[in-house]
Amino acid sequence: METAELFYTDTGRGRNVMLIHGWTCDSHDWIFQMPALEDKFRVVAVDLRGHGRSEVMSSGSYAPADYDADIENLIETRFPGEKFVVVGHSMGAQIAARLSIKRPDLVEAVIAVDGTLGFSDELSGLFEQTAKDLNEKEPGEVGPGLFTLFYGPKTPEPFKRWHARRLQGTPAHVVRESFAPLLLGSGQIGVGEQSEAFIRSIQAPYYHLCRFDEQAGWMQPWLSHPKSKVDVWADSGHWIHQDRAEDVNAAIIEWIEQLDGTDDDPA
């Protein structure tokens, strides 16, 4: 599998933390986290293939496995022998979770900010229609319409404009081909029983920030590690870390620091 040349920044000192953005986003998504995290940790913020300033690969190379291969290669070549707490938003959280299972030697723990995991089967229809629309229409029109369904009352209007314009600047094949494998098909791990089975297989400490009580209720029992947990962040949009930046920063730092406790062996 051919890996892409990834743009990333490496700042701060301390425990290794990697930040992975979501679908049609880039590492600027974490700009409200970087100063706070850099005071405590070494922070590597990555642009995924086809996004931001990273290499755009050809069509047919935007499955979750392709994204994970890039992160594996980045760690092995630029940070050999090191492990990371991987913080992912949306698609980035699914990439981080997949990597934690495939390469536990590279991932110390996972933090998922409204990750594409643990969704109800009831959302399958929406995801199927979105995938269809992305293939038949201009992604720059379809994507922002989807985003409006996932904003909260605290999401500022400038953020919405930022997200839409960034998607419109992402190559169309990247937008189209990255979406469906996350949530549709035999290999998806975002929805229903397939997601439950995957989450139950996660052995690393896993912290999931989501927006709904119901989702948190069914996800918590699926997590086996004693330090794993699910928190509900009500009144937030899909970009919880932007809508409630200071609160999220404090929660992430607190959870990472408690990883050094004595009860961190899997149950």
The burial of 81, by beta-carbon neighbours within 10 Å (0-12 exposed, 13-18 middle, 19 or more buried), is given as exposed
Averaged pLDDT for residues 212-218: 96
Taking the domains of the chain in order of start, what are their residue ranges? Answer: 8-260
Quick one: DSSP state of residue 30? G
pLDDT in tens, 121-160: 999 999 999 999 999 999 999 999 999 999 999 899 999 9
Q: What is the pTM of this model?
A: 0.96
pLDDT in tens, 23-40: 999 999 999 999 999 999
Question: Which CATH architecture is the domain 8-260 placed in?
Answer: 3-Layer(aba) Sandwich (3.40)
Whether 265 shows a pLDDT value over 90: the answer reads no
Nearest C-alpha neighbor of 99 from the set 86, 111, 112: 86
- The helix or strand, by DSSP H or E, that contains position 18, with its residue range, turns out to be strand 16-20
Mean pLDDT of the chain: 96
Averaged pLDDT for residues 220-227: 97
pLDDT tier for residue 248 given thresholds of 50, 70 and 90: very high
